[in-house]
Amino acid sequence: MRRLNRKKTLNLMKELDAFPKVPESYVETSASGGTVSLIAFTTIAFLTIMEFMVYRDTWMKYEYEVDKDFTSKLRINIDITVAMRCQYVGADVLDLAETMVASADGLIYEPVVFELTPQQKELQRMLQLIQSRLQEEHSLQDVIFKSAFKSASTALPPREDNSLQSPDACRIHGHLYVNKVAGNFHITVGKAIPHPRGHAHLAALVSHESYNFSHRIDHLSFGELIPGIINPLDGTEKIASDHNQMFQYFITVVPTKLHTYKISAETHQFSVTERERVINHAAGSHGVSGIFMKYDISSLMVTVTEEHMPFWQFLVRLCGIIGGIFSTTGILHGIGRFVAEIIFCRFRLGSYRSTSVPLPDGHTSNHLPLITENSTH
């Protein structure tokens, strides 16, 4: 009884077989079929390799939402070299809430030589080249996000020539914590002193002839410091054409959450617009000589997430490639054989010419003569 049930079950499963097998004696092979099969297998192998490369690659997904964090402090990372002696310049931040953050809270004034060594010039030139490519091809920013913590810092290496030249510039570097509101970070003549209406700089003791706000921005960023991330002002160098010259940078800071397979950090991206002009009160160009960076905080927050193709999606795409190529090549091969048979059949029929056969009654017949075995001898 059990054997009978097994046979019924097997017979039922055979009837449900959607892939019937054809005996090998009924299968006809051909050279054209072998050629098409070779092309199909080669195409499948090539597309499979390409699809695997796509599967290994990742991409960055950007999402936008309203930034609801207004209580935390904003960190500003600074590394700027000014072509003036350290005792002549002062740096500080003043925000819209009239809160002053002095440079003594986190910045270091280091006397240096403004002119770069050949090695430093080469690294700066490479950084400026990367900046120009980033402005032309925005997709390179995704590559920088992926390589964060793997790339080296953008800061210039220390001098190795042990120059005996006396320092003629001041490197201001470090970080400051400010309120998360719009503000103004500036470097100008004289040290800053606070007073009830804001603050002032003691510039009266410095001669106008010693003003030189030529500067080089080795690094400027907002938020958590992430090595390998290139910011818009990194590598910027400005040479002053006049003693009384103002350099202005208008910066829009965008809070950013970065989530990759290597890091997870909260940082800030920013865009910048530059302007410079000579201070000439007689010509109506008023202001104060110095370097001014006016920043504003965007109300939107960007979440950048590195994503990867799921394995099941890779399998589905791979099955689609294999099945699609087999079906397409089979259809094309069938159409090709059909067209070839029609052409060859017409060629063969055209090779036989009609002949006239005399009949006994004096008429002629244009039909082809019947070929028999006796007629061949």
The DSSP line for 88-141 is GEEEEEEETT--EEEGGGTEEEEEE-SSPPHHHHHHHHHHHHHHHHHHH-TTHH
Q: Which two tokens stand for residue 220?
A: 């400027």
Region 319-336 average pLDDT:
86
Among 8-17, 116-125, 339-348, where is mean pLDDT lowest?
8-17
Does pLDDT of 32 surpass 50?
yes
Residues 51 and 318 sit within 8 Å (Cβ to Cβ): yes
| Residue 189 predicted with pLDDT over 70 | yes
Q: What is the pLDDT of residues 82-128, one digit of tens each?
A: 999 888 888 888 888 766 666 667 888 999 888 888 888 888 888 88
Classified as helix, coil or strand, 231 is coil
- What would the mean pLDDT of 193-216 be, rounded to a whole number? 76
Alpha-carbon distance of 291 to 238, in angstroms, equals 10
Query: Which of 3-7, 116-120, 363-367 has the highest average model confidence (pLDDT)?
Result: 116-120
CA distance 170 to 193: 20
Higher pLDDT, 190 or 98: 190
> What digits encode the pLDDT tens for the residues 264-317?
888 888 889 999 988 887 787 888 889 999 999 998 899 988 888 889 998 999
Tokens 């080795």 found at: 218
Q: What is the pLDDT of residue 252?
A: 93
Give just the sign of the alpha carbon dihedral 83, 87, 88, 90: positive
- Residue 368, pLDDT above cutoff 50: no
Statement: residue 148 has pLDDT above 70: no
Residue 8 has pLDDT above 90, yes or no: no
**Residue range 198-213: average pLDDT?**
75
The pLDDT, as a whole number, for residue 71 is 80
Residue 159 and residue 79: Cα distance in Å, rounded?
16
* Token pair recorded at residue 156: 């210039």
For 160-169, the CB contacts below 8 A with 24+ separation are 160/117, 160/119, 161/117, 163/113, 165/113, 167/85, 167/111, 167/112, 167/113, 168/83, 168/85, 168/113, 168/114, 169/81, 169/82, 169/83, 169/84, 169/85, 169/111, 169/112, 169/113, 169/114
